Structure 1
Amino acid sequence: MKNTKTRIVLIEDDLALGNSISELLTLSDFEVNWFKDGVEGLLYLNKNIPDIIISDFMMPHMNGEELFLIIRKNRKFQTIPFIIITANMDDDVKFKQLKNGVNDFIMKPFKVKEIVYKINNLINLKKNIEKKFCPDPFSKITIQLSEKDFITTLNEILIKNMKSKIDMGELSNELFISKSTLDKRVRKLTTKNASQYIREFRLDYAVKLINLGEKNIQYLVDETGFSSFSYFSTSFKSYLDVTPRDFIKSIQAEKQSLL
């Protein structure tokens, strides 16, 4: 269960520059998906949510401003930091981009340290804001089980690796117990086996996201670490006796009735 790398979408039509930026960011331990124009990048973004988007301003077919305005209309991208790369930009254009909501600029030529620092600053700011305004539903305050130190530690590990595949061997090693002891202790404290506890823990987190307004099921699948859309849907239906889609509709209807 390794730490998940920051996922970057890079959109740059200059092949030499794009290749250099992609290589340098990869060497800086980022996961980079590089696209040569805005249209190609948008097709990827329709199905994937990165941690940050970096786009050149002047590009054929769709420039950086057009791309930004399109993706910002989608609620799931409203908190994704967006950086524009440009060689020349007069004040009026720059002020317009800032007014639109662009988070930062990188002026060509630039040093790799500059872009790495800006990426890390924006990602850390995003995480701190999310932590402040969306407190984790599985924090220590909410846990009221016997031997809560064990359950607290287990939950913290699960939260940290929410998007990753959980390996029982690595999980038991982090808890300094054997795999069999892990299962026995989870059964004793929750009446569930370890696999069921982990699966339902993730589903509870999905429910929390839905209650916060999330409606995109594929986003829920990605955020909770399920291996496929179908496995998530089947598990959700088995756990809550309702499909994810119908559950989302019921939450929306309930909120609408309160208006």
Structure 2
Amino acid sequence: MKNEKKNIVLVEDNLALGESIHDVLVFSGFNLKWLKNGYEAFVYLSDNVPDVIISDLMMPVMGGDELFLKIRKNNKFNAVPFIIITANMDDETKFKQLENGVNDYIMKPFKTRELLLKIKNILNLKAQIEKKNSPDPFSKVTIKLSEKDFVVSINTILAKNIKHKIDIDHLSSQLYISKSTLDKKIRKRTNKNISQYIREFKLDYALKLIYLGERNMQFLVDETGFNSLSYFSTSFKKYVGVTLRDYIKSTHK
């Protein structure tokens, strides 16, 4: 699982929630295809078989339950784990989904760690069942830099290293440009110095984690690669305008 990115299909019609889940999973090392309803997903899945499907239960056009029943008619999806996410699921609905063969479900609001751990566990189980005898080769992806995708390239590097300390030396070496050129380019495009850009990129990710239900402040520090809780809290207040503790309280009332 660590040697290659796993492909996940997310089916979620709530744009804010979908964007947050998208960023969390991408930053956690997954390839993600986000579709807005079951019908879009059904069309996409006709030509694509992901490693995991995560779908909201109630959606316009086609819900997650109907999508599951449709794709399971095709044998190629027999080994693809299917996780349902929903805000309301009574016992009758829950038992019905499990009886139909849904592998797991997550109740909204949920914590980021719950989603990531369920994906990890279900992928590990799938790998054991498939009994893969030959390990996948390690691959090194070189980010090609151009003027057009300069900021995208930086964001890609930051996302891949979100839990670690990243500085201008690391970025410049990854982008194959000098530190002075990197600083000039980022200032020109964002009106920020590179340190500020990195810090705010990490803080934006923390905000998405909080939106998804995360309240553990030390977990936020660890997931965003800050040196300490005190530095994270100070940076957060300066960036957002309120203390970390107050922001978490206001978000999860």
Q: TM-score range by the shorter chain?
A: 0.5 to 0.7
Residue of structure 2 equivalent to 1:174: none
Structure 2 counterparts to residues 237-248 of structure 1, below 5 A? none
Distance 1:92 1:161 in 2: 45
SS in 2 for 1:160: coil
Residue of structure 1 equivalent to 2:102: 102
Residue of structure 1 equivalent to 2:164: none
Structure 1 residue 26, shift from structure 2 partner: 0.7
C-alpha distance after superposition, 1:75-126 (max 9, x if no partner): 0000100000000011001000000000001100011111000000000001
SS in 1 for 2:19: helix
Which structure would you say has the larger RCO, counting Cα contacts within 8 Å and 6 or more residues apart? Answer: 2
Distance 1:40 1:64 in 2: 11
Distance 1:30 1:112 in 2: 14
Distance 1:60 1:41 in 2: 12
Residue of structure 2 equivalent to 1:69: 69
Residue of structure 2 equivalent to 1:127: 127
Distance 1:30 1:115 in 2: 13
C-alpha distance after superposition, 1:229-253 (max 9, x if no partner): xxxxxxxxxxxxxxxxxxxxxxxxx
Residue of structure 1 equivalent to 2:50: 50
- Alignment-mate amino acid for residue 94 of structure 2: K
1:160 aligns with 2:129: no
Greater percentage in helix: 1
Distance 1:4 1:40 in 2: 26
Whether the 8 Å CA contact 2:6–2:30 is kept in 1: the answer is yes
Whether the 8 Å CA contact 2:35–2:41 is kept in 1: the answer is yes
Structure 2 counterparts to residues 222-241 of structure 1, below 5 A? none
Please, which runs of 5 or more residues in structure 2 have no aligned partner? 141-253
C-alpha distance after superposition, 1:187-225 (max 9, x if no partner): xxxxxxxxxxxxxxxxxxxxxxxxxxxxxxxxxxxxxxx
- Alignment-mate amino acid for residue 160 of structure 1: D
Distance 1:64 1:118 in 2: 18
Distance 1:30 1:161 in 2: 17
Distance 2:58 2:108 in 1: 12
Structure 1 residue 6, shift from structure 2 partner: 1.0
What is the root-mean-square deviation of aligned Cα atoms in Å? 1.9
> Runs ≥4 in structure 1, deviation > 2 angstroms?
none
Whether the 8 Å CA contact 2:4–2:136 is kept in 1: the answer is no
SS in 2 for 1:102: coil
Please, which runs of 5 or more residues in structure 1 have no aligned partner? 137-155, 166-259
Residue of structure 2 equivalent to 1:24: 24
Distance 1:32 1:103 in 2: 19
Distance 2:33 2:68 in 1: 17
Distance 2:79 2:137 in 1: 21
Structure 1 residue 29, shift from structure 2 partner: 0.9
Whether the 8 Å CA contact 2:53–2:80 is kept in 1: the answer is yes
Structure 2 counterparts to residues 1-259 of structure 1, below 5 A? 3-131=3-131, 136=133, 156=134, 159-161=135-137
C-alpha distance after superposition, 1:123-152 (max 9, x if no partner): 000110111xxx74xxxxxxxxxxxxxxxx
- Alignment-mate amino acid for residue 19 of structure 2: N
Distance 1:160 1:15 in 2: 35
How many aligned positions are there?
A: 139
